Amino acid sequence: MSRLYYSRKRVMVTGGAGFLGSHLIDRLLAEGHDVLCVDNLFTGSRDNLVEAAKNPNFEFMRHDVTWPLYVEVDEIWNLACPASPIHYQHDPVQTTKTSVHGAINMLGLAKRLGARIFQASTSEVYGDPHVHPQPEGYWGNVNPIGPRSCYDEGKRCAETLFFDYHRQHGLDIKVARIFNTYGPRMHPADGRVVSNFVMQALKGEPITIYGDGSQTRSFCFVDDLIEGFLRFMKAPAEVTGPMNLGNPSEFTILELAEMAIRLTGSGSTIVRQPLPADDPKQRQPDIALARKALGWQPTVPLEQGLERTIAYFKQFT
């Protein structure tokens, strides 16, 4: 038999119909694996899986990870959870349940199967940081009872569960802390800053900035992030993370708005609104660990990535 047969794995991706999950599935299929996509389609979309669905090695299952799942797989990627404030604040109790119950169910499955499991955590575990840029050793500054807490604390609890399963049961885990990521297949109405600015610019609407626009973010193009995912998952078992994955190039929100206007050729103006509660003033990853352990760093500049994102969003205007 071919080497491909022996290297092929049956891989499960929860949240696979989402922005990141669908890009990950495309790469896994390209590597020759059998891929099971599990998604309840709360924020994901079958439209993101059009190409994947043409592949005979792809299978879709509609399922909510807050309920147990009994399947046979070699590897688990847990990406299931709404990731934008407008979506995760819609039903905050369900968001917390997805992070916590979902983690428990997927960890239990991984334990039964002896499978390596990847957790898509978030830079939001750092809250509104007092340390800049944020290294993995920083414990964060998070409000446990605010409107963003369902996501922030849900993801923090999920990390706790992953490392307790690792220590108590010897589970093979990978925990990635994902910083702001953008690119094709973002939901045009997800409320995140890139999609907001691009859609407003394409429609010629005023671009809404919250606060004075001096708050910073670091934007990683989706292709770069998925490459980091794959390298991390293939790293030796002792490389558990948590590991920051994101682009350390820092931009103010005002700079992003001005770039969106310029690249779309828009006549949009900029308007300001009050800053939302618990909105972080700074966000920039320290990726020294990823550089050392994975030989990984982003390669797509913001302007180039935005051009590709704008081309995708034009279909919605």
Residues designated as active site: 151
End-to-end Cα distance, the chain:
50
Give the Cα separation of 286 and 233 in Å (integer): 19
Residue 173, beta-bridge partner list: 117
Q: Which segments within 5-63 are labelled E, that is strand? A: 10-14, 34-39, 58-62
Angle CA(204)–CA(205)–CA(210) in degrees, nearest 5? 135
Contact between residue 187 and residue 195 where contact means Cβ atoms under 8 Å apart = yes
Give the Cα separation of 270 and 267 in Å (integer): 10
Contact between residue 221 and residue 215 where contact means Cβ atoms under 8 Å apart = no
Paired tokens of 274: 């009050």
CA torsion through residues 158, 124, 46, 305, sign: negative
Contact between residue 123 and residue 285 where contact means Cβ atoms under 8 Å apart = yes
Give the Cα separation of 231 and 291 in Å (integer): 11
Question: To 10 degrees, the CA torsion angle through 65, 71, 73, 79?
Answer: -10
Contact between residue 116 and residue 233 where contact means Cβ atoms under 8 Å apart = yes
Contact between residue 33 and residue 5 where contact means Cβ atoms under 8 Å apart = no
Q: Which residues of 81-118 are buried (b: 16+ CB within 10 A; e: fewer)?
A: bbbbbebbbeebebbbbbbbbbbbbbbebbeebebbbb
Contact between residue 262 and residue 198 where contact means Cβ atoms under 8 Å apart = no
